[in-house]
Structure 1
Amino acid sequence: MTLNSRQRPQSAPSGPLKVALVGECMIEMRSDPVAGLSQTFGGDTLNVAVYFCRLNASEHIVADYVTAIGADSFSDAMRQLWRDEGVGDPHVRVIEDALPGLYFIQTDSQGERRFLYWRGEAAARRMFDGAEADAALHALADYDYIYVSGISLAILTAGGRERLLHALRLVREAGARIVFDNNYRPHLWPDTQAARQAYGDMLRLTDLALITWEDDAALFGYADVEVLFRAYAAFGVGEIALKRGAASCLVQCDSGRFEVPAEQVRHVVDTTAAGDSFSAAYLSCRLQGGDPQLAARWGHRLAAQVVQHRGALIPGAAMPSLKMPSFSSATEA
């Protein structure tokens, strides 16, 4: 099963291609040398959702965010941000006695970032707990593509995670395609074995994997990329884009394996959301009909722009122009 060998879910209505992104949006705080302390919103799947919508500003592809928030003013403000960016919110759960999580970004002189988190009681942890979650879980059957990250899995309660995985199995059997970004964060898991089990369950359902090499090397202990690609083949993943930071990415799909060089950036300001923006552009290109090599070039182009700005979400005016004829295909490795 590959990304393009798609049969629309039986329950999905005709019309635009529908993408659901499952995860957590948090309050983002950062110390800026010019502006001082600033506050906005971010989170890996939310970053992907925003960049994806910016690259798909048409009626042919729509994206909805699936999460849980509180009933507070911060939750209202982040929800308005999503709407302003074109991210749909029909399946956002409101939990009255909960609040959003919060993180603080610190960056060094090379733009590398360090995150401090306050998210233990965040609403998103409970998004799939209880009978109130049934509507969102059943609604996943209406989507053609569902995007989940390793952080999406990690923040959920054990019961919520199992309910999500069960729902993904059902919708995939009905024709949906599953996209997974590994985003492994050790501190979010009780132990390595629990993370490996959850990732293994997820990868067996995955059609497109957007993988950061360092994360999988840390989680699974892969010695090199060949071991990783063999492991993913055993899981049955049909298409893999292996992100390697400022180095080239490797793409493996039905037509072979390709190496796509990254774009060089002379001055990196902040690497926050570099991987998220790559994933958003890659998926956007693929769903618009681009091949995997072109999708990787889109990913590198957007990520190169994102790391030249502070924060997860760059201004809309700073978005690069990504068009189907803009790039030539990479040379097969």
Structure 2
Amino acid sequence: MSRSSPPLRVACQGECMVELRESPTPGLLAQGIAGDTYNTAVYLRRLTSAADLRIDYATCVGGDLFAPRLFETWRAEGIGESLVRTVPDRSTGLYAIRTDAHGERHFSYWRERSAARAYFEGELSPLEQQAGEIDVLYLSGISLAIMGPEMPPRLRTLLQGLRSRGARIVFDNNYRPRLWASRDAAQSAFAQLYALADIVLVTLDDERALQGLASDDLALQHSLALPCPEVVVKRGARSTLVRRVGQSPIEVPVQTVSRVVDTTAAGDSFAAGYLAKRLMGESAVAAAEWGNRLAATVIQHPGAIVPPEVMAWATRRGAA
């Protein structure tokens, strides 16, 4: 689908990190570049045309030896860097990952001095300076968590400004308890995003943990009642639920896979598939189907970012 008007400008805000993963050679680690909102940016770029969407990543990079690798990777994936700040006295976030026999992930992080934490500190960020050009802002619970115990007032001002001029805000709940000073702090920040977002992508397990709810049924009831126009609830192997304002939730089946290799970026890739369709004007149900299909592909391969060739069915050439 091509647009006659200028492409929508999509900003994905968060942290891009160096990923260390066990390699087939004993004692060696394979290096990659990943991060939840960055993963979504990559998959969204692969799924769409530059004539339809301009995708920029909004973050800070440090002054260490990893920074050039980040820029090289972004350019290779077609991700714009005009919203990036460099903070020379900070470092690039780093994490190591190991997956078990069921594809479940176990992480170790080194990010206390991560440059991305400083995006709304000091001088105005490029995202704030260019806010009038942004059509869609995508961010996550992790984007919020790395900024401190409370939502930065400048981020709140940015979100309110975007909302007032009709830009769309998309929020993925991605709740990681150990990144927050307290659950109360996380609940407060999330509540503000839920009130401002146009689309909220909810992983049900995360929302249950965030709200301290006793069952999935209570977590689902809470999620479907969130005060935003469009809510998508991801429930792992169970069907995805889509609720648009004034409408009953619709179930969208997930795709069954024979073997789960690595669940890293399952939700991030779903978000990309969903947004690829919604931003092009297709229905929420069609978007959820696309998101589920991409997530099913990604979890059958190791790492957050799978090789482009395994997405052949979803490329512009191969897409229906």
Q: TM-score, normalised by structure 2?
A: 0.92
1:278 is aligned to 2:270: yes
157, 182, 195: which one pairs with 1:204? Answer: 195
1:75 is aligned to 2:67: yes
Give unmatched runs, 5+ long, in structure 2.
none
The count of aligned residue pairs is: 313
CA displacement at 1:326 relative to structure 2: 6.8
- Which amino acid in the other structure matches residue 103 of structure 2? G
Change (3 A) 1:266 1:31: same
CA displacement at 1:221 relative to structure 2: 2.6
User: Equivalent residue of 1:266, what SS?
Assistant: coil
| Matched-pair identity in % | 45
- Which amino acid in the other structure matches residue 137 of structure 1? E
CA displacement at 1:320 relative to structure 2: 4.3
The one-character-per-residue Cα deviations of 1:38-65 (angstroms, maximum 9, x if unpaired) are: 0111000000000000001331211110
1:103 is aligned to 2:95: yes
1:304 is aligned to 2:296: yes
Change (3 A) 1:144 1:260: same
Contact 1:126/1:160, CA 8 A, preserved across alignment: no
- Partner of 2:231 in structure 1? 240
Partners of 1:115 and 1:19 lie apart in 2 by 29
CA displacement at 1:140 relative to structure 2: 2.4
Partners of 1:294 and 1:320 lie apart in 2 by 19
- Which amino acid in the other structure matches residue 199 of structure 1? F
User: Equivalent residue of 1:133, what SS?
Assistant: coil
- Which amino acid in the other structure matches residue 55 of structure 1? L
Question: Which stretch shows the higher mean deviation, 208-217 or 220-229?
Answer: 220-229
Partners of 1:150 and 1:57 lie apart in 2 by 27
Which residues of 2 match residues 184-333 of structure 1 at below 5 A? Answer: 184-223=175-214, 227-228=218-219, 231=222, 235-254=226-245, 255-322=247-314
User: Equivalent residue of 1:248, what SS?
Assistant: strand
Q: TM-score, normalised by structure 1?
A: 0.88
Which residues of 2 match residues 72-221 of structure 1 at below 5 A? Answer: 72-130=64-122, 132-158=123-149, 161-221=152-212
Partners of 1:147 and 1:175 lie apart in 2 by 14
CA displacement at 1:78 relative to structure 2: 1.0
Give unmatched runs, 5+ long, in structure 1.
1-13, 328-333
Change (3 A) 1:323 1:248: farther
Partners of 2:96 and 2:163 lie apart in 1 by 36
Which runs of 4 or more aligned residues in structure 1 lie more than 6 Å from their structure 2 counterparts after TM superposition?
A: 323-327
Contact 1:20/1:140, CA 8 A, preserved across alignment: no
User: Equivalent residue of 2:45, what SS?
Assistant: helix
CA displacement at 1:165 relative to structure 2: 1.7
Contact 1:30/1:104, CA 8 A, preserved across alignment: yes
Partners of 2:55 and 2:268 lie apart in 1 by 15
Partners of 2:94 and 2:242 lie apart in 1 by 34
